[in-house]
Amino acid sequence: MRLFVGLGNPGAKYQGNRHNIGFMVIDEIARRHGFSPWRRRFQGETADGVLDGVRITLLKPTTYMNESGRAVQEAAGFYKIGQDEVAVFHDEIELPPAKVRVKVGGGIAGHNGLRSISAHIGNDYLRVRLGVGHPGAKELVHNHVLGDFAKSERPWVEALCEIAADNAGLIAKGKDSTFANKVHLAMQAKGFYDNDKGTSGSKQ
Nearest to 103 by CA among 197, 199, 31, 177: 177
Look at phi and psi of residue 117 and say left if phi exceeds 0, alpha if psi is from -120 to 50, else beta. alpha
Is residue 204 pLDDT above 70, yes or no?
A: no
pLDDT of residue 8: 97
Quick one: pLDDT band at residue 108, thresholds 50, 70, 90?
confident
Q: Which residues contact 142 (CB under 8 A, 6 or more apart)?
A: none
Is residue 6 pLDDT above 70, yes or no?
A: yes
pLDDT of residue 109: 76
pLDDT of residue 168: 98
Domains of the chain: 2-189 (3.40.50.1470)
pLDDT of residue 193: 79
Helix or strand or coil: residue 62? coil
Q: How far is CA 130 from the centre of its chain?
A: 6
- Which secondary-structure segment (H or E) carries 58? strand 54-61
Q: What is the pLDDT of residues 153-191, one digit of tens each?
A: 999 999 999 999 999 999 999 999 999 999 999 999 999
Active site residue 19: yes
Is residue 194 pLDDT above 80, yes or no?
A: no
Q: What is the pLDDT of residues 110-161, one digit of tens each?
A: 899 999 999 999 999 999 999 999 999 999 999 999 999 999 999 999 999 9
Q: What is the pLDDT of residues 30-77, one digit of tens each?
A: 999 999 999 999 999 999 999 999 999 999 999 999 999 999 999 999
Averaged pLDDT, 74-101: 96
Nearest to 190 by CA among 170, 164, 169, 168: 164
Higher pLDDT, 146 or 204: 146
Is residue 94 pLDDT above 70, yes or no?
A: yes
pLDDT of residue 160: 98
Catalytic, out of 19, 33, 111, 144: 19
